[in-house]
Chain A
Amino acid sequence: MKIAKLLADFLSDVLQTALRALPFPVKTGLRKIGNPDRQSPVFVTCNFGLTVRRVMRALQGIDAYLLVANSRGINVWCAAAGGHFTSDDVVSVIKTSGINDLVDHRRLVLPQLSATGIERAVVEEKTGWRAVFGPVYTEDIPAYLDNHYKKTEGMRTVRFDLPQRLEMAIMWAFPVSVIPLIPLLIWWRHLVLPFVAVVWIIGMAIFAGLPWIPAKVVRADSHQGGPSWARYFVVFDPRAQKALLVWALLMGVLIAYGRLASDWHWSTLVGWGLASFAVALLFSLDLSGSTPLCKSGLHEDRLLRVEFDSDRCQGRAICREVCPKDRFQIDSKLHKASITSENECVQCGACIVQCPEDALAFVDPSGRRIPPEDIRRYKLNLLGERAKSC
């Protein structure tokens, strides 16, 4: 029985990693971890299957309650930013799960990345619970508890380490290699294996090699002023010399293999060259948006800037608690925040949504100010056409 469950979990993990752009909803409600008692901590997460299983695994060894809220089967960050994981969903899981009767305290730990969609003030007002934003990564929760619910800088910053980069490569490589399989299997069956190999090798290479592509090339807002198509060619940007070198090397290997090892016609070589170019371009189109580190560069009119009104700021430091790029510094003597500009903003809006003084707002490239109430109401994916018309 236990082996069957492990196997089912493993297969679900594989499937949901490959298709992680799709929602995989699991049952919402209360989960017990270990043997929780009336003082045990209460955590909230989304109901994306992969996330729930990972959270349960990461929390093994501590006694706690986990509230799985309805995020429509989407991961925490995407669901919160897209308006699918809201304050109401958290209020709902508190009221319908029966947690009120199980613990004596009223402290709720929300995932930090939900801060872009879940308003702490609303949850607190409607439930009487005190909500805090925990670490970005569940792996940090044991250390966070040991540290008396205080986050270190590392706990509140997003990372894009090799395993995460490879997961993102899989998310792209799987559909990109599977969808063309249908025509390939019908008409060009001999091309199936080489095509799949090309997609996966290029995808893995681009994401694995991301740290060696200069940041200024990946960053979406670095292309302003240049030709508008330039930002789609990240991997082929002349400033990304190492990427170009690898590309030249790959083409060299391709030509050498085609001409020397087997007897390819030049047209076959050109065909594969173009195919790999197309695949690399596809990965390159929104490379910045495929990382948790940068904002997406696909829509120039949605490159927003955070505006900070120092007069309103009371230095309550909630912005620092929720910023996944650690852009805020707090002067504890003056009770004022300030934005350190070295880290690029990912444009998640969490600081704006959470600021109790409404001291922060977005400003779009045309200079239009998008006030906090609009972001709280329409969330991020609605900042385009729909927000204007409503």
Chain B
Amino acid sequence: MSYVFMKVLESAPRRYDLGIRLLSLGRISRVHREMAERGVSDGKRALDIGCGTGSLAIACARRGAQVTGIDISPHMLDIARRKVEQAELADSITLLQMSAIELDERFEPQSFDTIMSSLTFSELSDDEQRFVLRQCHRLLKDGGRLIIADETVPPSWPRRLLHLLVRLPLVALTYVLTQTTTRAVAHLKSKIADAGFEIEWASASLLGDFKIISAIKR
């Protein structure tokens, strides 16, 4: 499944949640649950970079974590705020409208036990990805955990070709509707390692076009 449709959904935030659930065939809720289970437990401080409509932040707060969710889009945050209130988790979730590029100014070093990010790195340029990863390293406590889930470039040529064939019609359609597209992240694992993390585990989809990577700050 391709995530280029995210753009369609983002342009109409009210339909984002339903759409992303349908498009990922229910996978995204599972991914968020898995991330929350692996990443947080009672009383942990967590940061969600690119929290969108807040699904992952809510999943983490349900497990007892204190979550700070940041997103660049005020529209997405409007929805997130509503969902957080409905879930009665307003006390454990703080939502901030800011760019990931401002992480260096807005938080003190070692502020978080866990940092998570779902479907956000594919929105960032190469330089931005490296910058944000360096910031994650700064913001995490020693031994803290970074968990990233995103669309990734498949590791081998045949799979890349297959991925392209599946993705191309979706890209075209998305473009017609929204004039934008997303780019899968290349070399995510080595970028994370370059920022000073030790890869703990990783799981990839069949085509290798979607990955969850967990890493520890050393």
Which A residues are closer than 8 A to B by beta carbons? 22-23, 25, 27-29, 47, 70, 72-74, 78, 82, 84, 88, 91-93, 95-97, 126, 377, 386, 389-390
Q: Which 3 interchain pairs have the tightest Cβ spacing?
A: A96-B127, A28-B125, A92-B101
Q: Name the residue on B nearest A84 (C-beta).
A: B180
* Structural contact, A88 and B72, CB atoms closer than 8 A: yes
A96 and B179 contact, Cβ closer than 8 Å, known pairs A91-B101, A386-B12: no
Q: Name the residue on A nearest B14 (C-beta).
A: A389
> What is the CB-to-nearest-CB distance from B120 to chain A, in angstroms, rounded to a whole number?
14
Given A23-B179, A92-B99, A390-B78, output 13 extra A-B contacts at Cβ < 8 Å. Answer: A23-B180, A28-B125, A28-B126, A82-B179, A88-B99, A91-B99, A92-B125, A92-B131, A96-B125, A96-B127, A96-B128, A389-B14, A390-B75
Contact of B127 among A25, A28, A91 (CB under 8 A): A28
> What is the CB-to-nearest-CB distance from A9 to chain B, in angstroms, rounded to a whole number?
21
The 14 listed contacts between A and B (C-beta, < 8 Å) are A23-B175, A25-B183, A27-B126, A47-B125, A70-B124, A72-B181, A73-B181, A92-B101, A92-B125, A92-B127, A92-B128, A96-B125, A97-B127, A389-B14
* Structural contact, B12 and A23, CB atoms closer than 8 A: no
Contact of B128 among A47, A70, A73, A82 (CB under 8 A): A70
Instruction: Mark each residue of chain B from 126 to 142: 1 if its CB lies under 8 Å from any CB of chain A, else 0.
Output: 11101100000000000
For the complex, give the distance between the alpha carbons of A74 and B12 in Å: 20
For the complex, give the distance between the alpha carbons of A272 and B124 in Å: 49
Whether, in the assembled complex, B11 has its beta carbon less than 8 Å from a beta carbon of chain A, the answer is yes
For the complex, give the distance between the alpha carbons of A389 and B50 in Å: 23
Whether, in the assembled complex, B91 has its beta carbon less than 8 Å from a beta carbon of chain A, the answer is no
For the complex, give the distance between the alpha carbons of A91 and B101 in Å: 8
Contact of A70 among B12, B75, B78, B125 (CB under 8 A): B125
Whether, in the assembled complex, B143 has its beta carbon less than 8 Å from a beta carbon of chain A, the answer is no
For the complex, give the distance between the alpha carbons of A97 and B175 in Å: 28
A377 and B181 contact, Cβ closer than 8 Å, known pairs A70-B128, A91-B99, A95-B131: no
For the complex, give the distance between the alpha carbons of A78 and B178 in Å: 12
For the complex, give the distance between the alpha carbons of A22 and B179 in Å: 7
